[in-house]
Amino acid sequence: MYSLKIEQRQYQTYILKDESSNSLVEIVPERGGIITKWLVGDRDIMYLDTERFTNPELSVRGGNPVLFPICGNLPDNSYTHNGKQYTLKQHGFARDLPWDVDFQEAGNNSAVLTLVLKSSEATKQVYPFDFEVRFTYEMVGNSLNILQTYQNKSDVAMPCSFGFHPYFLVRDKSKLSFEIPSQEYFDHKTKENKPFSGNFDFNQDEIDVAFTKLSGNTATVTDRDRNLKFTLEYDRDFSTLVFWTVKGKEFYCIEPWSAARNSLNTGKNLTVIEPGDNFSTSIKLTANFF
C-alpha cells in the first residue's frame, strides 16, 4: 500500500511512500521540481548537500536536478537563434524555478506526482519559446519512473535538450564497478577520447566524462561496499551518459542527457519540437540491495 503526504519544511515537500517496504521518495516542487531523497528499505540511495539545498541562491548539489532546455554548458554561456544572441547558464533554468503540482495519487500499486513548468516572460528573455514541461514521478516498489512531456506552445519550432543530474551516495568509490554500454568516453578535462574498460581512476581530483557512442539503453553501477546494485534505464532519446565525481565527496553522478554540451549551437542530437507538438520520453531508476 502506498501513501502520499505533504510536509511544510523550508519548502513544501511531497513524500511518496511504500508502506510495506518502508521505501520513500521526497520531491520539492518549488525548488526545481527536484527529488531530494530516495530511500529503499530505509537506506539512502541519493546524496544531498543540505547546506546548498537550503540556500535558494545556490544550485542544488544532490538529489536529481532537472536539466532543461540545455544539458551542460555553452561557450561563454551564449547561443544564437535566428541571428540573435542569448545568454543561458549551465544546465538551463528548470532546476532553479518553482514547478506547479498538477496531479497526485497513491493507491495499491504505486504513488504518483505530476509537476508542470511553464514558460514565462523571464524564461523567454533567455530562451524565446512558449513551452510546457510535464513530469510524472511514479514510485513502484524499489523503482522510480520519470515520465516526461515537452510541449512547444510557440508558433515556431523549438530546439532543446533535456536530462537529469542524479547524485548517488557512495562511501568507498574503490568498491564501485560499472556496466555502461560504451567502450569509450570523451574526457572533458583533457579534451580527449579514451577507452573505457569498466572502471575509473578515483585518485583524480575530478572525473568529468561523456559517453556518446551508446550501444544500449541500460547502465548499472554495483557498490560492493553497500551491497547495492543501481540500474538506470533510459529511452533511446537519450544519446549521452555523463559520469561525474569529485575526490573527497561521497557522491557519483551518472547522468542521462538527450544531447551533449553546446547542442544549441552545434545542432548535434538536438531535439526540435514543431509548433503545437509535444515530445514524450522516460527514464527508470531501480535500486536493489543484495
pTM of the model: 0.97
Q: In what order do the strands lie in the sheet with 176-179?
A: 100-106, 111-118, 131-140, 143-152, 278-289, 228-234, 218-223, 176-179
Query: Residue 5 corresponds to which cell in the numbers above?
Result: 503526504
pLDDT digit string (tens) for 231-290? 999 999 999 999 999 999 999 999 999 999 999 999 999 999 999 999 999 999 999 999
Looking at residue 171, what is its pLDDT?
A: 98
Distances (CA, A) of 191 to 20, 187, 210, 247: 48, 5, 11, 20
Decide: helix, strand or coil at residue 147: strand
For residue 187, what is its C-alpha cell? 574526457
The pLDDT of 61-87, averaged and rounded, is: 96
Return the DSSP state at 92: B
The arrangement of secondary structure in 2-171+249-285, i.e. its CATH architecture, is Distorted Sandwich (2.70)
Residue 22 pLDDT > 90: no
Q: pLDDT of 145-181, one tens digit each?
A: 999 999 999 999 999 999 999 999 999 999 999 999 9
CB 88 within 8 A of CB 124: no
Mean pLDDT, range 186-215, rounded to an integer: 96
Tell me: the pLDDT tens digits for 104-156? 999 999 999 999 999 999 999 999 999 999 999 999 999 999 999 999 999 99
Residue whose C-alpha cell is 535566428: 82
Does the pLDDT at position 20 exceed 90? no
For the stretch 202-227, pLDDT in tens is: 999 999 999 999 999 999 999 999 99
Region of residue 197 (left: phi > 0; alpha: psi -120 to 50; beta: else): alpha
- Cβ pair 143, 23 in contact under 8 A: no
Q: What is the DSSP letter of 46?
A: B
* Element counts in the chain: helices (H) and strands (E): 3, 25
Mean pLDDT of 47-54: 96
The larger pLDDT score, comparing residue 173 to residue 197, is at 173
- Is there a contact between 271 and 263 (Cβ–Cβ < 8 Å)? no
Residue 242 buriedness (CB in 10 A; 0-12 / 13-18 / 19+): buried
% of the chain at pLDDT higher than 90: 98
SS3 266: helix
- The DSSP secondary-structure symbol of 51 reads H
